[in-house]
Amino acid sequence: MTGEYDRAFRESVSEPERFWGDAAAKVQWYRTCDRVLNCENPPFFRWFEGGEVNSCYNALDYHVGNGLKDHTALIYDSPVTKTIKKYTYGELRDLVAYCAGGLRRTGIRKGDRVVIYMPMIPEAVIAMLACARIGAVHSVVFGGFAARELAARIEDARPRLVISASCGIEVNRIIAYMPLLESALGLCSHKPSACVIVQRPEMNAVFPDSNYISWDALMDAEPAECVPLAATDPLYLLYTSGTTGKPKGVLRDNGGHLVALMWSMKNIYDVRPGEVFWAASDIGWVVGHSYIVYGPLFYGCTSILYEGKSIGTPDPGAFWRVIDEHKVAVLFCAPTAFRAIRKEDPKGEYIRKYDLTKFRMLFLAGERCDPDTLLWAEQQLGVPVIDHWWQTETGWAIGADCAGLELLPVKPGSCTKPVPGYDIRVLDAQGNELPPGKTGNVVIRSPLPPGCFTTLWENDKDFINTYFSAYPGYYLTSDAGYIDTDGYLWIMGRTDDIINIAGHRLSTGAMEEVLSSHPDVAECAVAGVRDPVKGEVPLGFVVLKAGVTKDQEAIASELIALVRQKIGPIASFKAAAVVKRLPKTRSGKILRGTIKKIADGVPCQVPATIDDPLILDEITDTLHGLGYPRQ
Ligand code: COA
Ligand code: AMP
């Protein structure tokens, strides 16, 4: 070990201004900042105040003028449409400039919000960068969300424009977007002034009125140049699940984000400009923002936009084909992808069919990677496999093995060590720091490093209440975990109602709201239970209103359909059961944790506070009926 990690970490927490000031020198500024860090109004820390910058310029124009004009910036690889299309930095810059010109012509100005509800197609990336080019704030909504979720985001962000597509493609089915979009707009009191639609060859959308324009019409414009923006101006708004049904609008600035992602490409992922970096995520999630779009392009890499799943049929070697064909150096995906691959190809036979000699490292995030999957991946691929910990709020890794600084020994199940910039502590309920090995609330001492969210969209109050009020001076991650005697970080699970389903963040509280809206349901509980591929899946229990005599299986099917319709297929809500009562404490609190433990087969003592221990027998029987083994 070289000690490089320790040196960088120490400097980042003891002299953050010097550390991040040095990192900022790698960025192209119109004007350098007056002040690296402004701590005058905690927890509203401001990075690089006075600096002027443009994220799109750093992602494209700078490289076009500096030798990478003909280098591939983006590879669109879409097994679902059997398409591979490559864009050089020069081509992508030109397309983005036309799109930015089109946005201007439709009246989009700096600070206006643009909602992007799109599948994984190049136009989505072009639209994001075009917003960044003229200072509009994009808000990408994941294509697997249903109309109601889209509506909630449109209502909160109040966009001037929505950009969408005629359809998405999910392996073997085409999903028409127009009905979803129209139904969402019908639910909103806010009306965007126009909707732009990319017509995909697989399905043509019929525009209901003149407020809809085609992507081609948008692109038929004078190209627009990058505009200088304040480093503290917002780049994007991204909604994420909170503990209520109302999603939280995470707001990210331009300057801090740019500096942090540039730093991470070299120091965490250890890639070199020109190499191929593949984040197998979706642009609707934070990983897609940071490492499909911005990070790799800021750093002059080739990024892959992959429209497909981790396993193809009949070929479970879908990922290896991409790595081989495009010479991927670093892959970033969720552990669920590897559990799915391993299930189909336990001996790794398909891995050996491909040439992976350029492949150097695998990074996993989105949920804790079980040591078994990590070791399997390491053994099969013969490259370092690094689990690293993230949140939408931070926008980049909090805990990782920073391979570009020095590769520390991997401890499977841990996220290695705090990334420079993140001063992590583990506290008990009273705010006392816990000794090594003791599990508690994982918090980060303020200020958060550059790149982390600066507030919640038009909601400073919830920003403070949700994240900075439990322990003054610390950001509450809502993750539980511990630091071991070697300083390794172990993130074991959420302390709130968020669950991670196939690496996607969803709230069980939001699902309970949907179940409660069913006319026959008196009360309900949703717990995240263990799943061999997706990590966790939701499981719903409902108690019916008195006098309801309807068939219970029919009600369960209605509930499953309701969650799919209101939240979306991505919730993977596929199991619901009717029970006579829910297990509760004597004070009326539903024991969701106990339901989860029974379903997971984890030995659990009957909580002393339970009002009626016999009810657990009914829950156990019901779970058994749903296919969960009896313990
Ligand atoms: N639009 C519409 N529907 C979508 C969608 C989208 N953009 N994305 C997913 N869905 C649907 C799926 O079709 C599926 O519907 P179904 O219930 O009718 O089958 C449902 O939402 C759940 O999707 P998903 O969680 O992706 O499960 P899956 O069974 O289709 O695939 C994996 C499982 C593991 C193969 C897949 O999730 C995968 O390849 N993951 C790796 C990618 C990754 O790393 N993601 C994490 C982001 S950091
Ligand atoms: P998201 O905001 O969707 O990125 O989800 C963030 C949450 O996912 C975190 O708060 C963790 O609970 C979980 N998570 C992400 N990466 C990891 C990881 N490597 N190990 C453990 N949990 C993780």
Q: How far is the CA of 367 from the centre of ligand 2 (A)?
A: 5
Dihedral pair phi/psi, residue 90, rounded to 5°: -65, -45
Encode pLDDT of 407-428 as tens digits: 999 999 999 999 999 999 999 9
Encode pLDDT of 282-321 as tens digits: 999 999 999 999 999 999 999 999 999 888 766 789 999 9
Helix 552-566 vs helix 508-516: crossing angle, to nearest 10: 120
Give the atom of ligand 1 at the shortest distance from the alpha carbon of 287: 48
Of 395, 397, 359, nearest in space to 378 by CA: 359
Rg (CA), the chain: 24
- pLDDT over 90 at 612, yes or no: no
- 447 prior amide bond cis, ω within 30: yes
User: Residues for the chain: how many in total?
Assistant: 631
Q: How far is the CA of 207 from the centre of ligand 1 (A)?
A: 28
Mean pLDDT of 134-150: 96
**Residue 478 near ligand 1, beta carbon < 6 Å:** no
**Residue 509 near ligand 1, beta carbon < 6 Å:** no
Dihedral pair phi/psi, residue 558, rounded to 5°: -65, -40
pLDDT mean across residues, the chain: 94
**Residue 240 near ligand 2, beta carbon < 6 Å:** yes
* Sequence-separated (6 or more) residues with CB below 8 Å from residue 322: 77, 278, 304, 306, 328
Mean pLDDT of 565-582: 93
**Residue 306 near ligand 1, beta carbon < 6 Å:** no
Neighbour count for residue 263 (Cβ, 10 Å): 30
Residue with tokens 């969650």: 563
Query: How high is the pLDDT of residue 596?
Result: 86
Q: pLDDT confidence of 630, banded at 50, 70, 90?
A: low
Element (H, E) at 52: strand 52-53
Q: pLDDT confidence of 590, banded at 50, 70, 90?
A: confident
CATH 3.30.300.30 domain residues, the chain: 502-625
Q: Specify the 3-state DSSP secondary structure of 230.
A: strand
**Residue 392 near ligand 2, beta carbon < 6 Å:** yes
Residue 373 and residue 381: Cα distance in Å, rounded? 12
Residue 124 and residue 581: Cα distance in Å, rounded? 47
CATH class of 502-625: alpha beta
Element (H, E) at 206: none
pTM higher than the cut 0.85 = yes
CATH 3.40.50.12780 domain residues, the chain: 4-309+388-481
Please tell me the CATH code under which domain 4-309+388-481 is placed. 3.40.50.12780
**Residue 340 near ligand 1, beta carbon < 6 Å:** yes
Dihedral pair phi/psi, residue 536, rounded to 5°: -140, 150
Give the atom of ligand 2 at the shortest distance from the alpha carbon of 493: 12
Element (H, E) at 126: helix 122-134
* Sequence-separated (6 or more) residues with CB below 8 Å from residue 383: 359, 360, 361, 362
Please state, for a pLDDT cut of 90, what percent of the chain lies above it. 86
Calculate the CA dihedral of residues 601, 603, 605, 611 and round it to 10 degrees: 0
Per-residue tokens: 42: 């905690």
Helix 592-600 vs helix 615-625: crossing angle, to nearest 10: 50
